[in-house]
Structure 1
Amino acid sequence: MNLYHIQSTVHGVNRVASFLEDNYIGIAWSGTGDLEQAPPELWKEQLVQHYRLDESELASTLATLHMFANLMQDGDYVLISDNEWTYVGDIGDYYYDDSTGTENDLICHRRGVTWLGRIPLAELNDKVQALLKDSSTLAKFEHPVSQAQLDRGLAVGIAAEATNSLSTGVDEATIQAAIHVLKEALHSEEEELRIRAATAILQYAKP
């Protein structure tokens, strides 16, 4: 399991709200077409044909496309940020959405995301702060995910969300049981288990 950070500003437009509301993350360079339908050796041809990139930019873009389409895996984690918060998501599969066109300012390369919660920027440790400061479009956390220490902040956010979910039709006893599971799961030695155990129950509590 890996952790990534993706820039949420694309062509000068902040996409945080869109990513959160529509449950996805994405990158530009839509002119390449569906990355799953073409071998990687053709990606370079498409980039050269559609974009003006020098050799350095071309190499960087190819690396980003490869990371987004191939290296990221279902079940990895991703971070996006605004001025106050970092949002943590569980990544799904890659897909290409050209339903609104393929202009350069559109985001067609996408991955579905289940958003798990948010953490104040000020509460992130130094390793995660360094990841967020990476200027790359997409950056990988080069440490074991457990060293990100995201679960402690998420625990507060998810528990608060559960407390506010009574209107969904789930009885209070069930929500309290979910919070209990969350607290118990926080004692697991594996961060993935700690987060997933709580998330699975609280996702069930959503309408």
Structure 2
Amino acid sequence: MNLFYVQSIVDGVSKVKSFLEDNYIGIPWSALGDLEQASSEELRELLEQRYGLVADKSGEVLQSIQLFAHGMSDGDYVVIKDEDWMYVGDLGDYYYDDSIGTSDDLICHRRGVTWLGRVPLEEINEHMLTLLHEPNVVAQFMLPVTQARLEQALRGNSDATGTVEKALNQGATSAEPELLKTLTEDHTPARVDQSTIEAAVQVLKEALKSKDERLRVQAATAILQYAK
């Protein structure tokens, strides 16, 4: 499981509201077309043909595009920020949406996101502050995800998910809150077969889509603790 930061300012305009309300993140360079099957060499050629970026000057752009299209995976984590908050989400698959055009102010390269909550910027640790100041459009957290301390921040902040209610509009889950509470508490390790573990993780991933704020946070905490 990996963690990424995606900038939310495109052509000087904040996309935070759109990302949160429509449950996705995205990057510019829409005129490149669908990147799902594009190789590194094809990307270099497209950047030169459509944006005039020659190979020796497109390194950071190419890296951001490759990370977004191919470096991220379903189930990884992503953070975005505005002036006051860092928002934490669970990533979905890459897709290309050019239904309304491919102009530079539009976001066609997208990944679905289940938003888990928000954390005040003043409460995040120095590792996350460094990540949020990365100059690239997309950056990967290079330390173990546990060093981000996301589960402590989400669990410890009672208002963690308060203002992303509109973004968290997916279906509820039948998972029981008490089960999630049990999973997030400290217990003596028991012998559990791999299939049972995988089934439990799937239940937790479904719980991330719940309309119940407390349930979402508990599920996120359990998954992050499992990732340790």
TM-score, with length taken from structure 2: 0.73
Q: Which runs of 5 or more residues in structure 2 are unaligned?
A: 166-171, 189-200, 213-228
Displacement of 1:182: 4.0
Q: How many residues align?
A: 190
Separation in 2, partners of 1:115, 1:149: 17
Amino acid in structure 1 at the alignment position of 2:134:
D
Superposed, 1:182-193 pairs within 5 Å as 182=181, 184-185=183-184, 187=186
Displacement of 1:109: 0.6
Asked if the contact 1:182–1:197 (Cα under 8 Å) also holds between the matched residues in 2, the reply is no
**1:13-65 per-position Cα deviation (integer Å, ceiling 9, x unaligned):** 10000000000000011111101243332222211111133555412211111
Q: Does 1:31 align with 2:24?
A: no
Superposed, 1:53-72 pairs within 5 Å as 53=53, 55-72=55-72
Q: 1:69 to 1:160 in 2, by over 3 A?
A: closer
Q: Does 1:131 align with 2:140?
A: no
Aligned to 2:10: 10
Q: 1:51 to 1:40 in 2, by over 3 A?
A: same
My pick for the range that moved more, 177-186 or 119-128, is 177-186
Superposed, 1:158-177 pairs within 5 Å as none
Aligned to 1:204: 210
Separation in 2, partners of 1:29, 1:160: 31
Q: Does 1:96 align with 2:96?
A: yes
**1:92-139 per-position Cα deviation (integer Å, ceiling 9, x unaligned):** 000000001011111111000000011111110111111111111111
Aligned to 2:81: 81
Q: 1:83 to 1:58 in 2, by over 3 A?
A: same
Q: 1:199 to 1:182 in 2, by over 3 A?
A: farther
TM-score, with length taken from structure 1: 0.80
Q: 1:88 to 1:135 in 2, by over 3 A?
A: same
Aligned to 1:109: 109
Q: 1:69 to 1:50 in 2, by over 3 A?
A: same
Q: 1:183 to 1:154 in 2, by over 3 A?
A: farther
Separation in 2, partners of 1:159, 1:53: 41
Aligned to 1:167: none
Q: 1:106 to 1:188 in 2, by over 3 A?
A: farther
Q: 1:151 to 1:188 in 2, by over 3 A?
A: farther
**1:165-203 per-position Cα deviation (integer Å, ceiling 9, x unaligned):** xxxxx9xxx99x6277247515489xxxxx987664363
Displacement of 1:147: 0.8
Tell me the SS of whatever aligns to 2:146.
Answer: helix
Asked if the contact 1:32–1:46 (Cα under 8 Å) also holds between the matched residues in 2, the reply is yes
Asked if the contact 1:178–1:198 (Cα under 8 Å) also holds between the matched residues in 2, the reply is no
User: Aligned residues: percent identity?
Assistant: 47
Q: 1:4 to 1:202 in 2, by over 3 A?
A: closer
Q: Which runs of 5 or more residues in structure 1 are unaligned?
A: 165-169, 190-194
Asked if the contact 1:178–1:201 (Cα under 8 Å) also holds between the matched residues in 2, the reply is no
Displacement of 1:72: 0.5
